[in-house]
Amino acid sequence: MGVTLVFPGQGSQYVGMGSTFREDPAFKRFGAADAALGFSLTQLCLEGPEDKLKLTEFTQPAIVTHSVAMHDMLLPRLHSLGVTVDRVLGHSVGEYAALVAAGALGFEDAVKAVSLRGRAMQAAVPVGQGKMVAILKLDADWVERACAAGSSADEQVMPANFNDPKQIVISGHAAA
């Protein structure tokens, strides 16, 4: 039997990431990320602070590291049950974890790339000025009208990602 693994994107981070499998050999990915990045991503994931972990420049390598470590932990268990991984997918930054899982990108290269990507995204919008929010169970027309109503010439918000018909991510100025 085969399965598809899907790796999450930004917003799935939390303080304590990896704490439930610290004794598993897969946890070594956190140490490899620390070495590749030149700072302790491990400490940030395990202990926070949450406001720092939520910064895109740290969130993205944290999610990729956690996702790849979980993949490393899960794969032998799946194989022992006769389950193969037929395909991997990733949502947003999760695409990088999927590329690592597929063997198309090295882990250290992925962590460095998403760190650079996160820093560039963080630099594009000063902390506190921008915001993204997932809107659930509302039609696209309603979300678009609400964004238009909440926007002004100086502060705008708009649909950014249509993840599925009932999940739309909006982004823009935090006040809008």
Any idea which of 26-40, 72-86, 123-137, 156-170 has the lowest mean pLDDT?
A: 123-137
Q: Report how far apart, in Å, the C-alpha atoms of 57 and of each of 10, 34, 52, 151 are.
A: 11, 14, 9, 27
Beta carbons of 22 and 1 less than 8 angstroms apart: no
pLDDT band at 5 (very low <50, low <70, confident <90, very high): very high
The domain limits of the chain are 2-124, 130-173
121, pLDDT greater than 90:
no
Instruction: Tell me the pLDDT tens digit for each residue of 91-114.
Output: 999 999 999 999 999 999 999 999
**Domain 130-173, CATH class in plain words:** alpha beta
What pLDDT does residue 124 have?
81
What pLDDT does residue 69 have?
98
Beta carbons of 129 and 123 less than 8 angstroms apart: no
Query: Of 12, 41, 25, 18, nearest to 110 (Cα)?
Result: 41
**Radius of gyration, CA atoms only, the chain:** 18
Please tell me the pTM assigned to this model: 0.84
Average pLDDT, the chain: 94
126, pLDDT greater than 80:
no
Please report, as a single letter, which amino acid is at residue 24: D
What pLDDT does residue 7 have?
97
Instruction: Tell me the pLDDT tens digit for each residue of 44-55.
Output: 999 999 999 999
- Topology alike, domains 2-124 and 130-173: no
**DSSP bridge pairs for 18:** none
What pLDDT does residue 20 have?
95
Instruction: Tell me the pLDDT tens digit for each residue of 11-20.
Output: 889 999 999 9
CA-based torsion, 119, 104, 94, 36: positive or negative: negative
CA dihedral 119, 147, 141, 94 (to 10 degrees): 10
Distance CA 118, CA 130 (A): 14
CATH superfamily of 2-124: Malonyl-Coenzyme A Acyl Carrier Protein, domain 2 (3.40.366.10)
pLDDT band at 125 (very low <50, low <70, confident <90, very high): confident
The contacts of residue 20 (CB under 8 Å, 6+ apart) are none
